[in-house]
Amino acid sequence: MSANRFDLAGKVALVTGGSRGLGLEMVRAFAQAGADVVITSRKLEACEAAAAEVRALGRRAFPYACHVGHWSELDGLVDAAYGEMGRIDVLVNNAGMSPLASSSADTSEDLFDKIVGVNFKGPFRLTALVGPRMVQDGGGSVINISSTGGIRPQPRFLPYAGAKAALNIITEGFAREYGPTVRVNGIMAGPFLTDISKAWTAEARERSNSALGRPGRPEEIVTAALYLASPSSSYTTGSVIRVDGGLP
């Protein structure tokens, strides 16, 4: 496959949680493919560091601090992104959080609301704001970063699993709402060696019960993201692609 299959020259991508982990890998990949990038996370300093990497590749970057779990902040993010960049061609709802409670009974209402807010409410609202503008501009691509937890729920992170399952559902729903010009897809990620893996055991960082027998490296999310962001996936919408090493 030639490199230009994933050409994003002239496109603008907005990546939530884009200052570290899988989000930062996607920011780098989009910029390398020719896109300008809006980078948002809660900490402006981290967004600015990622933006510096994008600019070093010769692309425009716009860092913007935003808590995607806060509904009231998302209008400002979208307005600022359009004001600075003029358009959004690719929206990646990547920001997420998966804190554990000792048990379901010990999960507080505040923790539940935070988990659902970042993993489900934020992506819903952001897509609802950007989707109609993409339609007006002639099309676009929305990519929701989900988790295999949404189909393989385990005790202690059930609110997270439920939020990701809901994210899978709205992926198909938004594909119908904003099609045919806007495509909406998801990536169902398995275990990846991002910052969260620092809390894992040494064995968990080396081995997985997947077909490949190991966790993923952050850069291994990139090809799926480039495929869904680019015209190469022109006949793919409402789909959730598993990138999990072959988990059972």
What are 234's two structure tokens?
């022109």
Residue in 221, 220, 138 with CA at minimum distance from that of residue 183: 138
CB 42 within 8 A of CB 66: yes
Residue in 157, 140, 138, 141 with CA at minimum distance from that of residue 149: 157
Residue 179 CB partners (closer than 8 Å, separation 6+): 237
What are 66's two structure tokens?
């935003």
- Write down the number of H helices and E strands in the chain: 8, 7
Residue in 180, 179, 160 with CA at minimum distance from that of residue 168: 160
Which of 160, 178, 227, 235 is catalytic? The answer is 160
CB-CB neighbours of 172 under 10 Å: 16
Q: Annotated catalytic, 235?
A: no
SS3 47: helix
**Side-chain half-sphere exposure of 41, counting CA atoms within 13 A:** 23
Q: Are strands 12-16 and 61-65 parallel, antiparallel or unpaired?
A: unpaired
CA max distance for the chain? 52
Q: Would you please indicate which residues are annotated as catalytic (active-site) residues?
A: 160
